[in-house]
Homo-oligomer: A and B are copies of this chain.
Amino acid sequence: MNKIDKYFHKYLPQHKKGKVVVISAPSGTGKTTVCKYLLKHIPNLKYSVSYTTREKRVGEINGRDYFFVSEETFKKMVQQNKFIEWAKVHNHYYGTPKKFVEETINHGQDILLDIDVQGGKNMKKVYPDGVYIFLLPPSLQVLKQRLLNRGKDTLKDIKVRLKNAIKELEYIKYYDYVVINDKLKETLEIIKSIIISEKYRIFRRGK
């Protein structure tokens, strides 16, 4: 590199570090499907598996969907400062593992976090340069229909979920992007665009 290019070089973006990509959404928006799809189609994107004290559901695998731990273990991990952030949601604890996230971004890879709005708000304090995406259903009517269709919840449960969805909307202000999950393919294209474009943001220069 010659002298002028040395000068020039400091203006070029250098992406030594990866970035944190947080996706939050009201329950039933299709966040899990979207995240799986993103991980399949976006190279250089890792998934951060959260820790939780809630019970494992049918089809879930420990270490893939969550690390399922006891409340005792969880609290010990909190004391040992093993989480970037943790929160109590509907009587269960959820935490984002510090070491894995840090190692991933230090290796220059992006890391996807599928966490709730409290988690998103807390992450933003630690990683203000992250990419925060709020996923929404096309309408509450559609959300209700989706919850009815999947047949997992009682009508009472669904009412609670819809109420929660409205509460969660208040957290939108902590996010950078809002994407309506209407058609999965379009949602993927939009989120892909967001992740690509964020790489070229000037404030990331030299990071």
Q: Mark A31-54, 1 if CB is under 8 A from B, else 0.
A: 000000000000000000000000
The answer to whether the Cβ of A84 comes within 8 Å of any Cβ in the partner chain is no
The answer to whether the Cβ of A12 comes within 8 Å of any Cβ in the partner chain is yes
> Shortest beta-carbon distance, A139 to chain B, in Å?
5
The answer to whether the Cβ of A197 comes within 8 Å of any Cβ in the partner chain is yes
Chain multiplicity (copies): 2
Give the complex CA separation of A126 and B128 in angstroms. Answer: 27
Contacts of A197 in B (CB 8 A): 177, 190, 193-194, 196-198
Q: Mark A1-28, 1 if CB is under 8 A from B, else 0.
A: 1101101110111000000000000000
Classify the secondary structure of A's interface with B: helix
Surface stretch bound by B, among A59-67, A89-97, A107-115, A199-207:
A199-207
What 8 additional pairs, Cβ within 8 angstroms, besides A178-B202, A193-B193, A193-B196? A173-B202, A177-B197, A177-B201, A178-B205, A179-B200, A190-B196, A192-B193, A197-B198
